[in-house]
């Protein structure tokens, strides 16, 4: 697997650099950690990063724009548009030994090449600021509702397994992590950056229109683990009301699905008993 990562890493360096960036400032950071989370199933990682940025009042310092992002813009409430982009924020705290870089955005690249390119650029920044550890976030899809989401984890080095045990994170021993959220964690190892990935349980439900249901409860569980791991205070109480509303909505969806299955069973006419196949 490591050989495959190295091949992909070398290949992406040959791509023409057509990605654009907008730099707002060059922060001076002290032994920073990098936490990452882009939109994925249940928006678990994205919601967690947005809430972390809001609570810490983290400051934007750079944006990335890629032709591999979906070809449209977002219309905001004030009638203006927002480009699809990935963003870097930073947070400094005199009480903490490590500053923090947060990498997130409103989209992921839609091609494998684009995802590798975005990952390559993000890890360039990690090297530039001498990131000590990278913590990627993602969703762990269960396909069913869970009362209290668990947080799973996977590490780049065996010595980091103690970090998982310390914070009651369940180690994974199979499966895969797709998209940029997974690549950031995996390819960080090639840069000599210790990394781990935290995945919070989510049913992965979609609305009847095909829209992915935002899982606030999963994001809350992820933030609680992150706050302990980073030794920072994050007030997740404001999320509890939203989590309750999301939970009620999921329960209604499950009830509707159960009733639909029952109705379908009733409508099926069993074959005559005297027919043999």
For residues 21 and 120, the answer to whether their CB atoms sit within 8 Å is no
pLDDT given for residue 209 in this prediction: 53
Extents of the domains making up the chain: 2-267
Kindly state the tokens that stand for 196.
Answer: 């781990």
Position 238 confidence tier, pLDDT thresholds 50, 70, 90:
confident
Is the pLDDT at 29 greater than 90? The verdict is yes
User: What is the rounded distance in angstroms from the CA atom of residue 138 to the CA atom of residue 48?
Assistant: 10
Strand partners, 127: none
Average pLDDT over residues 137-166: 86
Residue 207 has pLDDT above 50, yes or no: yes
**pLDDT at position 1, please?**
47
C-alpha span between 150 and 200 (Å, rounded): 6
| Cα 225-231-233 angle, rounded to 5 deg | 80
pLDDT at 142: 83
Mean pLDDT of 135-142: 89
Contact 60, 21 (CB under 8 A): no
pLDDT-derived band at 52 (thresholds 50, 70, 90) equals very high
**What value does the mean pLDDT take over residues 226-255?**
69
Instruction: Look up residue 255 and give its two tokens.
Output: 């009830």
Query: For the segment 64-121, what is each residue's pLDDT rounded down to a tens digit?
Result: 999 999 888 888 888 998 889 999 999 998 777 889 999 999 999 988 889 999 999 9
**pLDDT higher than threshold 60 for residue 216:** yes
Please report the pLDDT score of residue 86 as a whole number: 96
Q: Is the pLDDT reported for residue 126 higher than 80? A: yes
pLDDT over 60 (residue 198): yes
Name the fold adopted by 2-267: Rossmann fold (3.40.50)
Total residue length of the chain: 277
**Tokens standing for residue 147:** 């009362």
| Whole-number pLDDT of residue 175 | 75
pLDDT score of 247 more than 70: no
CA–CA dist 218, 211 (Å, integer) = 17
Euclidean distance between CA atoms 218 and 46, whole angstroms: 11
Distance CA 109, CA 128 (A): 23
Measuring CA to CA, which residue among 276, 253, 236, 258 is closest to residue 48?
236
- Residue 130 predicted with pLDDT over 90: yes
| Cβ–Cβ < 8 Å for 179, 107 | no
Q: Mean pLDDT over all residues of the chain?
A: 82
Average pLDDT for residues 209-224, to the nearest whole number? 79
């Amino acid at each position: 697997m490591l050989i495959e990562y190295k091949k992909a890493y070398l290949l992406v360096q040959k791509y023409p650099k057509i990605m654009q960036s907008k730099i707002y400032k060059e922060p001076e950071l002290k032994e920073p950690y990098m936490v990452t989370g882009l939109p994925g199933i249940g928006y678990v990682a994205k919601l967690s990063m947005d809430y972390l940025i809001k609570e810490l009042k983290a400051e934007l310092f750079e944006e990335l724009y890629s032709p591999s992002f979906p070809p449209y813009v977002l219309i905001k409430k004030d009638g203006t548009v927002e480009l699809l982009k990935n963003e870097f924020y930073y947070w400094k705290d005199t009480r903490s030994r490590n500053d923090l870089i947060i990498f997130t955005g409103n989209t992921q690249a839609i091609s494998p090449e684009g995802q590798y390119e975005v990952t390559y650029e993000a890890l360039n920044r990690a090297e530039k600021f001498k990131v000590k550890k990278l913590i990627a976030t993602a969703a762990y899809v269960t396909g069913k509702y869970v009362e209290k989401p668990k947080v799973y984890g996977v590490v780049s080095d065996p010595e980091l397994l103690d970090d998982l045990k310390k914070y009651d994170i369940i180690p994974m021993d199979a499966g895969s992590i797709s998209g940029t959220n997974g690549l950031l964690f995996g390819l960080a190892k090639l840069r000599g950056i210790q990394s781990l990935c935290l995945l919070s349980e989510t049913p992965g439900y979609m609305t009847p229109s095909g829209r992915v249901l935002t899982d606030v409860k999963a994001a809350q569980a992820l933030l609680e683990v992150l706050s302990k791991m980073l030794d920072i205070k994050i007030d997740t109480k404001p999320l509890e009301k939203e989590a309750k509303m999301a939970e009620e909505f999921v329960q209604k969806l499950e009830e509707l699905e159960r009733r639909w299955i029952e109705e379908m069973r009733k409508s099926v006419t069993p074959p005559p008993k005297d027919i043999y196949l």
